Amino acid sequence: MRLAERTRHLTRFRAVDFLEETAELQSQGQDIVRMGVGEPGFSTAAPIVAAANKAIDEGKTSYTPPCGIPELRQAIADHYKRYYGLSIDSQRIIVTTGSSAALGMVCDLLLNPGDGLLLSDPGYPCNPNFVRRLDAEPQFVPVNAEDNYQLTAELVASHWKDNTVGVMVASPSNPTGEVISRGNLLALHQEVSGRGGSLVVDEIYHGLTYEDEPVASILEITNEAFVINSFSKFFGMTGWRLGWMVVPEGVADIINVMVQNFYISSPTVAQYAALSAFSPETMGILEQRRTEFKQRRDYLVPALRDLGFGINHAPSGAFYVYADVKKFTDNCEDFCWQLLREHGVACTPGIDFGHHRASHHVRFSYTEPLERLKLGVERIRQALV
Ligand SMILES: Cc1ncc(COP(=O)(O)O)c(C=O)c1O
Protein backbone atom coordinates (compact mmCIF):
# COMPACT_ATOMS: atom_id res chain seq x y z
CA MET A 1 0.00 0.00 0.00
CA ARG A 2 1.19 3.51 -0.75
CA LEU A 3 1.68 5.38 2.51
CA ALA A 4 2.78 8.97 2.97
CA GLU A 5 6.55 9.42 3.04
CA ARG A 6 6.48 10.98 6.52
CA THR A 7 5.22 7.75 8.06
CA ARG A 8 8.64 6.24 7.31
CA HIS A 9 10.32 8.73 9.61
CA LEU A 10 8.26 7.99 12.69
CA THR A 11 10.17 6.17 15.41
CA ARG A 12 8.80 3.49 17.72
CA PHE A 13 7.83 4.29 21.30
CA ARG A 14 9.82 1.39 22.74
CA ALA A 15 8.50 1.87 26.27
CA VAL A 16 5.13 0.86 24.82
CA ASP A 17 6.67 -2.11 22.98
CA PHE A 18 8.14 -3.27 26.29
CA LEU A 19 4.79 -2.67 27.97
CA GLU A 20 3.08 -4.93 25.43
CA GLU A 21 5.68 -7.67 25.87
CA THR A 22 5.40 -7.32 29.66
CA ALA A 23 1.63 -7.77 29.45
CA GLU A 24 2.10 -10.80 27.20
CA LEU A 25 4.56 -12.42 29.66
CA GLN A 26 2.26 -11.65 32.57
CA SER A 27 -0.67 -13.23 30.73
CA GLN A 28 1.46 -16.39 30.49
CA GLY A 29 1.78 -16.34 34.28
CA GLN A 30 5.25 -14.80 34.62
CA ASP A 31 5.89 -12.40 37.46
CA ILE A 32 7.39 -9.18 36.10
CA VAL A 33 8.64 -6.28 38.22
CA ARG A 34 7.41 -3.39 36.12
CA MET A 35 10.08 -0.71 36.14
CA GLY A 36 9.46 0.20 32.53
CA VAL A 37 6.16 1.97 32.62
CA GLY A 38 5.63 5.71 32.75
CA GLU A 39 2.48 5.62 34.82
CA PRO A 40 1.84 5.61 38.55
CA GLY A 41 1.09 2.09 39.82
CA PHE A 42 -1.70 3.49 42.02
CA SER A 43 -5.22 3.31 40.71
CA THR A 44 -7.09 6.56 40.35
CA ALA A 45 -8.01 8.14 43.70
CA ALA A 46 -11.47 7.17 45.01
CA PRO A 47 -13.04 10.68 44.99
CA ILE A 48 -12.23 11.02 41.28
CA VAL A 49 -13.75 7.61 40.52
CA ALA A 50 -16.85 8.51 42.55
CA ALA A 51 -17.24 11.75 40.57
CA ALA A 52 -17.00 9.78 37.32
CA ASN A 53 -19.69 7.34 38.43
CA LYS A 54 -21.93 10.25 39.39
CA ALA A 55 -21.39 11.88 35.97
CA ILE A 56 -22.36 8.63 34.24
CA ASP A 57 -25.43 8.23 36.45
CA GLU A 58 -26.47 11.78 35.60
CA GLY A 59 -26.11 11.08 31.90
CA LYS A 60 -23.16 13.42 31.32
CA THR A 61 -22.09 11.59 28.21
CA SER A 62 -22.43 14.15 25.41
CA TYR A 63 -19.73 16.17 23.68
CA THR A 64 -18.50 19.14 25.68
CA PRO A 65 -17.30 22.54 24.42
CA PRO A 66 -14.05 21.92 22.48
CA CYS A 67 -11.81 23.63 25.04
CA GLY A 68 -13.40 21.80 27.96
CA ILE A 69 -16.27 22.30 30.40
CA PRO A 70 -16.03 25.81 31.90
CA GLU A 71 -16.04 24.42 35.47
CA LEU A 72 -12.90 22.38 34.79
CA ARG A 73 -11.09 25.25 33.06
CA GLN A 74 -11.90 27.37 36.12
CA ALA A 75 -10.84 24.58 38.52
CA ILE A 76 -7.46 24.43 36.74
CA ALA A 77 -7.15 28.22 36.96
CA ASP A 78 -7.91 28.00 40.70
CA HIS A 79 -5.20 25.35 41.00
CA TYR A 80 -2.66 27.80 39.57
CA LYS A 81 -3.81 30.37 42.12
CA ARG A 82 -3.52 27.96 45.06
CA TYR A 83 -0.25 26.28 44.15
CA TYR A 84 1.70 28.99 42.36
CA GLY A 85 -0.10 32.15 43.46
CA LEU A 86 -0.84 32.91 39.79
CA SER A 87 -3.94 34.50 38.31
CA ILE A 88 -4.55 32.78 34.99
CA ASP A 89 -7.62 33.64 32.94
CA SER A 90 -9.50 30.37 32.44
CA GLN A 91 -9.96 31.36 28.78
CA ARG A 92 -6.22 30.66 28.33
CA ILE A 93 -6.66 27.11 29.63
CA ILE A 94 -7.60 24.42 27.14
CA VAL A 95 -8.55 20.93 28.26
CA THR A 96 -7.12 18.28 25.92
CA THR A 97 -7.21 14.55 25.29
CA GLY A 98 -4.16 13.80 27.41
CA SER A 99 -1.22 16.14 27.17
CA SER A 100 -0.33 14.15 24.04
CA ALA A 101 -3.04 16.05 22.15
CA ALA A 102 -1.72 19.31 23.58
CA LEU A 103 1.83 18.50 22.45
CA GLY A 104 0.57 17.72 18.96
CA MET A 105 -1.50 20.89 18.75
CA VAL A 106 1.25 23.15 20.02
CA CYS A 107 3.45 21.78 17.23
CA ASP A 108 0.61 22.32 14.71
CA LEU A 109 0.40 25.86 15.93
CA LEU A 110 4.09 26.72 15.73
CA LEU A 111 5.68 24.71 12.93
CA ASN A 112 5.58 25.10 9.18
CA PRO A 113 7.15 22.41 7.00
CA GLY A 114 10.92 22.75 7.22
CA ASP A 115 10.90 24.67 10.52
CA GLY A 116 13.05 23.38 13.36
CA LEU A 117 12.23 22.82 17.03
CA LEU A 118 15.03 22.39 19.58
CA LEU A 119 14.60 19.37 21.85
CA SER A 120 16.84 17.87 24.50
CA ASP A 121 18.52 14.53 23.78
CA PRO A 122 17.60 12.52 25.84
CA GLY A 123 13.96 13.63 25.94
CA TYR A 124 10.38 12.42 25.68
CA PRO A 125 10.32 10.04 22.66
CA CYS A 126 7.04 11.23 21.14
CA ASN A 127 8.05 14.89 20.75
CA PRO A 128 10.26 14.41 17.66
CA ASN A 129 7.39 12.53 16.04
CA PHE A 130 4.92 15.37 16.63
CA VAL A 131 7.45 17.53 14.77
CA ARG A 132 8.05 15.04 11.96
CA ARG A 133 4.30 14.66 11.46
CA LEU A 134 4.38 18.27 10.20
CA ASP A 135 7.37 17.74 7.89
CA ALA A 136 9.32 19.91 10.29
CA GLU A 137 12.71 19.12 11.81
CA PRO A 138 13.37 17.95 15.37
CA GLN A 139 16.71 19.56 16.28
CA PHE A 140 18.34 17.50 19.00
CA VAL A 141 20.62 19.11 21.56
CA PRO A 142 22.76 16.61 23.48
CA VAL A 143 22.47 17.21 27.23
CA ASN A 144 24.54 15.62 29.96
CA ALA A 145 24.35 14.92 33.66
CA GLU A 146 26.49 18.05 34.23
CA ASP A 147 23.75 20.21 32.62
CA ASN A 148 21.14 18.42 34.73
CA TYR A 149 20.14 16.78 31.43
CA GLN A 150 18.30 20.00 30.55
CA LEU A 151 18.60 22.67 27.89
CA THR A 152 20.19 25.92 29.00
CA ALA A 153 20.18 29.36 27.40
CA GLU A 154 23.78 28.75 26.29
CA LEU A 155 22.89 25.44 24.64
CA VAL A 156 19.95 27.07 22.89
CA ALA A 157 22.18 29.87 21.63
CA SER A 158 24.80 27.48 20.30
CA HIS A 159 22.30 25.13 18.57
CA TRP A 160 19.85 27.68 17.17
CA LYS A 161 19.73 27.50 13.36
CA ASP A 162 18.24 29.72 10.67
CA ASN A 163 15.13 27.54 10.50
CA THR A 164 14.68 27.15 14.29
CA VAL A 165 11.41 28.63 15.52
CA GLY A 166 11.26 27.42 19.08
CA VAL A 167 12.30 25.23 21.98
CA MET A 168 10.45 22.52 23.85
CA VAL A 169 11.55 21.39 27.30
CA ALA A 170 10.06 19.29 30.10
CA SER A 171 10.67 20.02 33.77
CA PRO A 172 10.85 17.58 35.54
CA SER A 173 11.90 15.63 32.51
CA ASN A 174 11.25 12.20 31.15
CA PRO A 175 13.54 10.15 31.20
CA THR A 176 15.82 11.86 33.72
CA GLY A 177 13.50 13.37 36.34
CA GLU A 178 15.65 16.51 36.36
CA VAL A 179 14.17 19.96 36.78
CA ILE A 180 15.06 23.35 35.31
CA SER A 181 15.82 25.88 38.02
CA ARG A 182 13.90 29.14 38.11
CA GLY A 183 17.02 31.06 37.04
CA ASN A 184 17.61 28.76 34.08
CA LEU A 185 13.95 28.97 33.04
CA LEU A 186 14.20 32.74 33.04
CA ALA A 187 17.41 32.63 31.00
CA LEU A 188 15.81 30.19 28.56
CA HIS A 189 12.80 32.44 28.14
CA GLN A 190 15.01 35.47 27.55
CA GLU A 191 17.18 33.63 25.03
CA VAL A 192 14.22 32.22 23.07
CA SER A 193 12.08 35.35 23.08
CA GLY A 194 15.15 37.44 22.17
CA ARG A 195 15.37 35.35 19.02
CA GLY A 196 11.67 35.76 18.27
CA GLY A 197 11.03 32.08 19.01
CA SER A 198 8.44 30.26 21.09
CA LEU A 199 9.04 28.36 24.30
CA VAL A 200 7.00 25.27 25.18
CA VAL A 201 7.35 23.90 28.71
CA ASP A 202 5.94 20.49 29.50
CA GLU A 203 5.06 20.57 33.21
CA ILE A 204 3.34 17.17 33.26
CA TYR A 205 5.47 15.97 36.23
CA HIS A 206 4.78 19.04 38.38
CA GLY A 207 3.54 17.89 41.77
CA LEU A 208 5.90 14.94 41.66
CA THR A 209 9.03 16.57 43.06
CA TYR A 210 11.01 15.58 46.11
CA GLU A 211 13.27 18.45 47.09
CA ASP A 212 12.41 21.31 49.43
CA GLU A 213 12.54 24.01 46.79
CA PRO A 214 9.29 24.14 44.78
CA VAL A 215 9.64 23.65 41.04
CA ALA A 216 8.93 26.84 39.15
CA SER A 217 6.30 27.06 36.45
CA ILE A 218 7.26 29.08 33.40
CA LEU A 219 3.99 30.94 34.00
CA GLU A 220 5.65 32.58 37.01
CA ILE A 221 8.09 34.13 34.57
CA THR A 222 6.10 34.88 31.44
CA ASN A 223 2.63 34.64 29.93
CA GLU A 224 4.14 34.23 26.48
CA ALA A 225 5.19 30.58 26.82
CA PHE A 226 3.05 27.53 26.10
CA VAL A 227 2.51 25.22 29.06
CA ILE A 228 1.59 21.56 28.70
CA ASN A 229 0.15 19.63 31.64
CA SER A 230 -1.94 16.57 32.35
CA PHE A 231 -4.08 14.64 34.78
CA SER A 232 -2.03 11.53 33.94
CA LYS A 233 0.93 11.59 36.30
CA PHE A 234 0.54 13.50 39.59
CA PHE A 235 -3.25 13.06 39.44
CA GLY A 236 -2.91 9.35 38.54
CA MET A 237 -5.35 9.37 35.61
CA THR A 238 -3.34 8.01 32.67
CA GLY A 239 -6.15 6.00 31.10
CA TRP A 240 -8.72 8.77 31.41
CA ARG A 241 -6.89 10.66 28.64
CA LEU A 242 -7.11 14.15 30.02
CA GLY A 243 -4.59 16.95 29.94
CA TRP A 244 -4.49 20.69 29.47
CA MET A 245 -2.47 23.48 28.02
CA VAL A 246 -2.09 27.13 29.00
CA VAL A 247 -1.58 29.35 25.99
CA PRO A 248 -0.65 32.99 25.54
CA GLU A 249 -3.46 35.55 25.18
CA GLY A 250 -5.13 35.49 21.76
CA VAL A 251 -4.22 31.91 20.85
CA ALA A 252 -7.14 30.00 22.38
CA ASP A 253 -9.47 30.75 19.45
CA ILE A 254 -7.37 28.96 16.89
CA ILE A 255 -6.88 26.03 19.27
CA ASN A 256 -10.65 25.91 19.63
CA VAL A 257 -10.90 25.53 15.84
CA MET A 258 -8.26 22.78 15.91
CA VAL A 259 -10.08 20.81 18.61
CA GLN A 260 -13.45 21.23 16.87
CA ASN A 261 -11.95 19.65 13.79
CA PHE A 262 -9.43 17.19 15.14
CA TYR A 263 -11.33 15.48 17.96
CA ILE A 264 -14.39 17.64 18.84
CA SER A 265 -13.87 17.52 22.60
CA SER A 266 -12.04 15.67 25.37
CA PRO A 267 -13.63 12.70 27.17
CA THR A 268 -16.69 14.03 28.97
CA VAL A 269 -16.82 11.66 31.95
CA ALA A 270 -13.12 12.20 32.55
CA GLN A 271 -13.66 15.96 32.65
CA TYR A 272 -16.38 15.71 35.28
CA ALA A 273 -14.24 13.25 37.23
CA ALA A 274 -11.27 15.63 37.10
CA LEU A 275 -13.31 18.30 38.89
CA SER A 276 -12.69 16.19 41.99
CA ALA A 277 -8.94 15.98 41.36
CA PHE A 278 -8.32 19.29 43.12
CA SER A 279 -10.46 18.62 46.20
CA PRO A 280 -8.64 18.64 49.56
CA GLU A 281 -9.52 14.96 49.98
CA THR A 282 -7.92 13.96 46.67
CA MET A 283 -4.96 16.25 47.21
CA GLY A 284 -4.37 14.53 50.56
CA ILE A 285 -4.26 11.14 48.85
CA LEU A 286 -1.95 12.43 46.11
CA GLU A 287 0.38 14.02 48.62
CA GLN A 288 0.64 10.69 50.45
CA ARG A 289 1.52 9.02 47.17
CA ARG A 290 4.15 11.67 46.48
CA THR A 291 5.77 10.86 49.82
CA GLU A 292 5.78 7.21 48.84
CA PHE A 293 7.41 8.01 45.49
CA LYS A 294 10.11 9.89 47.37
CA GLN A 295 10.78 6.88 49.62
CA ARG A 296 11.06 4.67 46.57
CA ARG A 297 13.47 7.08 44.87
CA ASP A 298 15.55 7.28 48.03
CA TYR A 299 15.75 3.49 48.07
CA LEU A 300 16.28 2.87 44.36
CA VAL A 301 19.04 5.35 43.56
CA PRO A 302 21.60 4.00 46.08
CA ALA A 303 20.51 0.41 45.42
CA LEU A 304 21.21 0.77 41.69
CA ARG A 305 24.47 2.57 42.40
CA ASP A 306 25.54 -0.34 44.60
CA LEU A 307 25.00 -2.65 41.64
CA GLY A 308 27.30 -0.48 39.50
CA PHE A 309 24.80 1.67 37.61
CA GLY A 310 26.03 5.21 36.99
CA ILE A 311 23.72 7.83 38.49
CA ASN A 312 25.23 11.25 38.96
CA HIS A 313 22.78 12.55 41.52
CA ALA A 314 19.30 11.64 42.66
CA PRO A 315 16.71 13.01 40.22
CA SER A 316 14.53 15.72 41.77
CA GLY A 317 11.21 14.69 40.30
CA ALA A 318 8.94 12.48 38.15
CA PHE A 319 9.35 8.74 38.87
CA TYR A 320 12.37 7.85 36.78
CA VAL A 321 16.02 7.08 37.25
CA TYR A 322 18.15 7.40 34.12
CA ALA A 323 21.12 5.15 34.76
CA ASP A 324 24.39 4.68 32.89
CA VAL A 325 24.88 1.00 32.06
CA LYS A 326 28.14 1.16 30.12
CA LYS A 327 29.81 -0.91 32.80
CA PHE A 328 27.55 -3.79 31.73
CA THR A 329 26.74 -3.33 28.06
CA ASP A 330 27.08 -1.32 24.85
CA ASN A 331 23.61 -2.33 23.81
CA CYS A 332 20.94 -1.15 26.21
CA GLU A 333 18.13 -2.63 24.14
CA ASP A 334 19.49 -6.19 24.33
CA PHE A 335 20.21 -5.57 28.01
CA CYS A 336 16.56 -4.60 28.63
CA TRP A 337 15.10 -7.47 26.58
CA GLN A 338 17.30 -9.89 28.51
CA LEU A 339 16.30 -8.43 31.87
CA LEU A 340 12.66 -8.71 30.88
CA ARG A 341 12.59 -12.16 29.30
CA GLU A 342 15.14 -13.97 31.45
CA HIS A 343 14.94 -12.17 34.79
CA GLY A 344 11.43 -10.75 35.05
CA VAL A 345 12.32 -7.07 35.29
CA ALA A 346 10.93 -4.54 32.82
CA CYS A 347 12.81 -1.31 32.15
CA THR A 348 13.21 0.97 29.13
CA PRO A 349 16.31 1.23 26.93
CA GLY A 350 17.96 4.64 26.61
CA ILE A 351 17.63 4.55 22.83
CA ASP A 352 13.94 5.27 23.29
CA PHE A 353 14.87 8.78 24.36
CA GLY A 354 17.34 9.92 21.72
CA HIS A 355 20.79 9.28 20.37
CA HIS A 356 23.23 10.95 22.72
CA ARG A 357 25.03 8.21 24.65
CA ALA A 358 21.64 6.51 24.51
CA SER A 359 22.85 2.93 24.09
CA HIS A 360 24.66 3.30 27.42
CA HIS A 361 21.54 4.17 29.38
CA VAL A 362 18.45 2.56 30.81
CA ARG A 363 15.43 4.21 32.41
CA PHE A 364 14.01 2.66 35.55
CA SER A 365 10.56 3.73 36.80
CA TYR A 366 9.75 3.53 40.49
CA THR A 367 6.04 3.17 40.00
CA GLU A 368 5.79 -0.19 41.80
CA PRO A 369 5.68 -0.47 45.63
CA LEU A 370 8.96 -0.53 47.56
CA GLU A 371 8.86 -4.29 48.21
CA ARG A 372 8.51 -4.95 44.49
CA LEU A 373 11.38 -2.58 43.72
CA LYS A 374 13.52 -4.52 46.20
CA LEU A 375 12.63 -7.73 44.37
CA GLY A 376 13.48 -6.07 41.06
CA VAL A 377 16.86 -4.95 42.36
CA GLU A 378 17.57 -8.46 43.63
CA ARG A 379 16.72 -9.92 40.23
CA ILE A 380 18.97 -7.41 38.51
CA ARG A 381 21.76 -8.29 40.97
CA GLN A 382 21.41 -11.94 39.99
CA ALA A 383 21.32 -11.03 36.29
CA LEU A 384 24.62 -9.20 36.60
CA VAL A 385 26.64 -12.01 38.21
C1 LIG B 1 7.15 14.29 29.36
C2 LIG B 1 5.83 13.74 28.95
N3 LIG B 1 4.96 14.52 28.30
C4 LIG B 1 3.77 14.06 27.88
C5 LIG B 1 3.39 12.75 28.11
C6 LIG B 1 2.05 12.28 27.61
O7 LIG B 1 1.16 11.98 28.64
P8 LIG B 1 -0.43 12.03 28.55
O9 LIG B 1 -0.82 12.08 27.11
O10 LIG B 1 -0.89 10.80 29.24
O11 LIG B 1 -0.86 13.28 29.28
C12 LIG B 1 4.26 11.89 28.80
C13 LIG B 1 3.90 10.47 29.05
O14 LIG B 1 4.68 9.67 29.50
C15 LIG B 1 5.51 12.41 29.23
O16 LIG B 1 6.39 11.64 29.91
Q: pLDDT per residue over 19-28, tens digit each?
A: 899 999 999 9
**Mean pLDDT, each 10-residue run in order, the chain (385 residues):** 91 85 93 93 96 98 98 98 96 98 98 98 96 97 94 98 98 97 97 98 97 92 98 97 97 96 97 98 97 97 97 94 96 95 95 94 97 98 94
Question: Counting runs of H as helices and runs of E as strands, what totals does the chain give?
Answer: 12, 12
CA–centroid distance, residue 278 to ligand 1 (Å) = 20
Atom of ligand 1 lying closest to residue 103 CA: 4
Q: Please state whether beta strands 348-349 and 361-365 pair in parallel, antiparallel, or not at all (unpaired).
A: antiparallel
Q: CATH 3.90.1150.10: which residues of the chain?
A: 5-44+281-384
CA nearest ligand 1 atom 14, residue: 38
- Please tell me the pTM assigned to this model: 0.96
pLDDT of residue 171: 97
Report the CATH architecture of 5-44+281-384: Alpha-Beta Complex (3.90)
Q: Please state whether beta strands 243-246 and 226-230 pair in parallel, antiparallel, or not at all (unpaired).
A: antiparallel
Q: In what order do the strands lie in the sheet with 226-230?
A: 93-96, 243-246, 226-230, 198-202, 164-170, 116-121, 137-142
DSSP H or E stretch at residue 84: helix 70-84
pLDDT of residue 188: 98
CATH number of 46-277: 3.40.640.10
pLDDT of residue 359: 94
Q: CATH 3.40.640.10: which residues of the chain?
A: 46-277
Protein residues with CB under 6 Å of any ligand 1 atom: 38, 98-100, 124, 170, 174, 202, 204, 230, 232, 238, 243
CA atoms within 13 A on the CB side of 260: 6
pLDDT of residue 37: 85
The helix/strand/coil state of 34 is strand
